[in-house]
């Protein structure tokens, strides 16, 4: 029997209207405990208004060995960036 | 309610949270898991925050330039009004959970009563503290259920801890003269009224946790009158050390 609690990834939304962002990970026996632990470990200084927890094993990561084919081809395609538009100053979080 | 009675009532409110906060603080760096360690010390800090509010008020009532530290640190053992429950040791995590659960359920009911206090300060402190204590109840109930309804070993340990802690719970509802006066003047809570709600909540959670309770258990009293268990002197020796060794010291 594995005596270690599984690892959970914690996502926090810092305020309404923004997206949840990855904050870190922690140990917990189940989802309810993961929420409580996340509350105590990651939001004790008013970091958030909403929490998501996902058990780490459910996350599929890309293979670092494939970074070349996955990411490098994007490097020379500046036309994919919308940098040719001017944004009004009032628009935030773009 | 006169000034001295109000002062005494604030001690009855504050001392429970303070001594429990100190017990939880002892676990800092010794929690069973890093995450649980942080949770328990967070709860400790919540309790100390609430105590500061009560004792700042108590110090103002005393006048003579007394401060919250005088109220908290410079009394003798028999002048502390906390119940025996909160001074019980952190024997193991199951004992920590049992003690916390039995106190949290009481504390939540108490603050809901005090939120209607005719004393503005107590009223405001209660309203501010309720959300913190709602979380404490969630935390300790979840652990009680998880351990009680967990494996054979966790069930056995949780039941043992509960059996040895339950005998201190009814003192929370023992009405002293000060608490009767506080109730009658509208400042304080009606402990008898809270007791019914307390027992039904405790019984319901225990049923969910697959734990049994002996309602005929002989209960222990004395803390509110300043007659403490043998643990209290050791708690105070550590708690008061800095103020006794270096009077008037500041951070």
Residues of A in contact with B35 (CB under 8 A): 26-28, 37, 40-41
User: Helix, strand, coil shares of chain A as percentages rounded to 5?
Assistant: 35, 20, 45
Query: Which residues have a Cβ under 8 Å from the Cβ of B118 and sit 6 or more positions away?
Result: B185, B186, B187
Nearest Cα of chain A lies from the Cα of B142 at a distance, in angstroms, of 8
Largest Cα–Cα distance in chain A?
A: 59
- In angstroms, what separates the C-alpha of A37 from chain B's closest C-alpha? 6
Chain A CB contacts of B142 under 8 Å are 32-33, 36
- Mean pLDDT over the full length of chain B: 96
Q: Which of B31, B32, B33, B139 to mutate to test the interface with A (most CBs of A within 10 A)?
A: B33
ipTM summary value: 0.74
B35–A32 CB contact, under 8 Å: no
Q: B34: nearest CA in chain A?
A: A27
What pLDDT shows up at residue B205?
97
Total-model pTM? 0.89
- Model pLDDT, residue A81: 79
Q: Do B146 and A33 touch (CB under 8 A)?
A: yes
Alpha-carbon distance of B153 to B59, in angstroms, equals 47
Confidence (pLDDT) at B249 = 82
Residue A83 has pLDDT above 90, yes or no: no
Q: pLDDT tens digit string along A30-77?
A: 999 999 999 999 998 888 999 999 999 999 999 999 988 888 888 888
C-alpha to C-alpha distance for B5 and A89, rounded to whole angstroms: 61
Residue A86 has pLDDT above 90, yes or no: no
Partner-chain contact B142 A44, CB within 8 Å: no
Does A13 score more than 60 pLDDT? Answer: yes
Identify the three-state secondary structure at position B7.
helix
* Chain B closest-CA separation from residue A49 CA (Å): 15
Residues of A engaging B, defined by a Cβ cutoff of 8 Å: 5, 26-29, 32-33, 36-37, 39-41, 44
Residue B64: burial class (beta carbons within 10 Å; 0-12, 13-18, 19+): exposed
Question: Under an 8 Å CB criterion, which residues of B touch A?
Answer: 33-36, 38-39, 42, 135, 138-139, 142, 146
The pLDDT of residue A76 is 83
Query: Is B149:B160 a contact under the CB 8 Å cutoff?
Result: no
Closest CA to B114 of B201, B191, B3: B191
pLDDT tier for residue A94 given thresholds of 50, 70 and 90: low
Domains of chain B plus CATH, in order, are 3-212+220-245 (1.20.1260.10)
Which pLDDT tens digit goes with each residue over B87-128? 999 999 999 999 999 999 999 999 999 999 999 999 999 999
- Min Cα–Cα distance to chain A from B34, Å: 8
CA distances B196 to A32, B151, B185, B191, Å, are 29, 31, 22, 9
Q: How confident is the model at residue B17, as a pLDDT?
A: 98
Tens-place pLDDT, residues B188-215: 999 999 999 999 999 999 999 999 999 9
Taking only the tens place, the pLDDT of each residue in B41-89 is: 999 999 999 999 999 999 999 988 999 999 999 999 999 999 999 999 9
B137/B147 Cα distance (integer angstroms): 15
**pLDDT above 70 (res A18):** yes
d(CA B109, CA A36): 22
CA distance B150 to chain A (A): 11
Helices (H), A1-94: 31-42, 67-71
């Amino acid at each position: 029997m594995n005596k270690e609690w599984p690892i959970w990834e914690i996502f926090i939304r810092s305020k309404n209207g923004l997206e949840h962002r990855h904050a870190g990970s922690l140990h917990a026996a189940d989802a309810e405990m993961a929420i409580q632990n996340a509350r105590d470990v990651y939001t004790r200084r008013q970091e958030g208004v909403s929490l998501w927890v996902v058990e780490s094993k459910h996350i599929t990561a890309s293979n670092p060995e494939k970074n070349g084919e996955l990411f490098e081809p994007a490097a020379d395609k500046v036309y994919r960036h919308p940098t040719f538009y001017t944004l009004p100053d009032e628009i935030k979080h773009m | 309610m006169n000034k001295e009675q109000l002062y005494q009532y604030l001690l009855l409110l504050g001392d429970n949270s303070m001594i429990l906060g100190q017990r939880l603080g002892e676990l800092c760096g010794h929690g069973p898991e890093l995450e649980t360690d942080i949770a328990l010390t967070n709860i400790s800090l919540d309790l100390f925050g609430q105590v500061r509010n009560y004792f700042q008020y108590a110090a103002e009532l005393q006048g003579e330039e007394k401060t919250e530290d005088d109220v908290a640190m410079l009394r003798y053992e028999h002048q502390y009004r906390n119940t025996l429950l909160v001074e019980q040791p952190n024997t193991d995590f199951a004992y920590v959970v049992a003690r916390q659960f039995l106190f949290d359920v009481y504390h939540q009911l108490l603050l809901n009563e005090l939120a209607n206090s005719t004393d503005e300060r107590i009223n405001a402190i209660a309203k501010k503290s309720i959300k913190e204590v709602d979380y404490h109840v969630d935390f300790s109930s979840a652990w009680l259920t998880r351990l009680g309804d967990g494996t054979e070993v966790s069930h056995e340990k949780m039941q043992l801890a509960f059996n040895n802690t339950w005998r201190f719970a009814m003192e929370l509802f023992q009405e002293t003269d000060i608490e009767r006066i506080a109730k009658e003047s509208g400042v304080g809570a009606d402990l008898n009224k809270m007791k019914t709600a307390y027992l039904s909540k405790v019984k319901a959670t225990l049923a969910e946790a697959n734990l049994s309770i002996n309602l005929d258990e002989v209960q222990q009293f004395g803390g509110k009158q300043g007659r403490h268990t043998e643990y209290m002197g050791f708690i105070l020796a550590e708690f008061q050390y800095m103020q006794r060794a270096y009077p008037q010291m500041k951070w």
